[in-house]
Amino acid sequence: MIHIILKACARRAFQGACVAAVLAAGTLPSSAFDSHAGYYYPAPQTSEPYISNVETALDANKRSRAAFVIGLAAQQSKQAYAPGYHLFAKGAELEKLIIVATGDGQYDTLYRMRALLASLTSMARGTELFARTDQPQELNFLDFCKLIGFKQVTVSNGKDVTHQIKVN
């Protein structure tokens, strides 16, 4: 519904009606509108919750999430080949991790996206924060995302497939 309202708002003749409609709609659930869909990736076709037994680190904050993304990018830059994806954090507190393929034919199925997340586990284990955990070998990438405070992980081929994971 919000997409219909936003499209109507683009036309000047409907601006008054738009304000009234938005006020009448009240508060939307956080999952009702994804401000990054349509800009960085297509709207998610699939989603799932991920319940982690890991507690968010007490010192997890915007800065630690930024450092994590920078650390993974630095590892990518040391490789002898171009990365198959871009990884970045968005949101007011950088609480949303976004991973988008850099070329066609990559990460175009849910299975390939999950395999990417599994391979990112190995990269994450090379970071300082991951090494500080009690049993890093027991954790996967999504557990690590929870540890540093990411609330959402979105993986997309950047063309027509997007999967979104709510990390709890």
**What pLDDT sits at residue 60?**
94
For residue 2, which of 41, 43, 49, 40 has the smallest C-alpha distance?
43
Structural domain spans, the chain? 1-33, 35-167
Q: Which residue has the tokens 């002898």?
A: 80
Rounded Cα distance, 16 and 72, in Å: 46
Task: Label residue 151 by pLDDT band (50, 70, 90).
Answer: very high
Secondary structure E strands in 5-81: 46-50
Rounded Cα distance, 16 and 4, in Å: 15
- pTM as predicted: 0.78
The answer to whether residues 99 and 86 touch, using CB atoms and an 8 Å cutoff, is yes
Give the tens place of pLDDT for each residue, 43-80. Answer: 999 999 999 998 999 999 999 999 989 988 888 888 89
Half-sphere exposure of 120 (CA within 13 A, CB side): 26
C-alpha pair distances (Å), 64 with each of 61, 100, 111, 136, 151: 5, 21, 29, 18, 14
Give the tens place of pLDDT for each residue, 109-121. Answer: 999 999 999 999 9
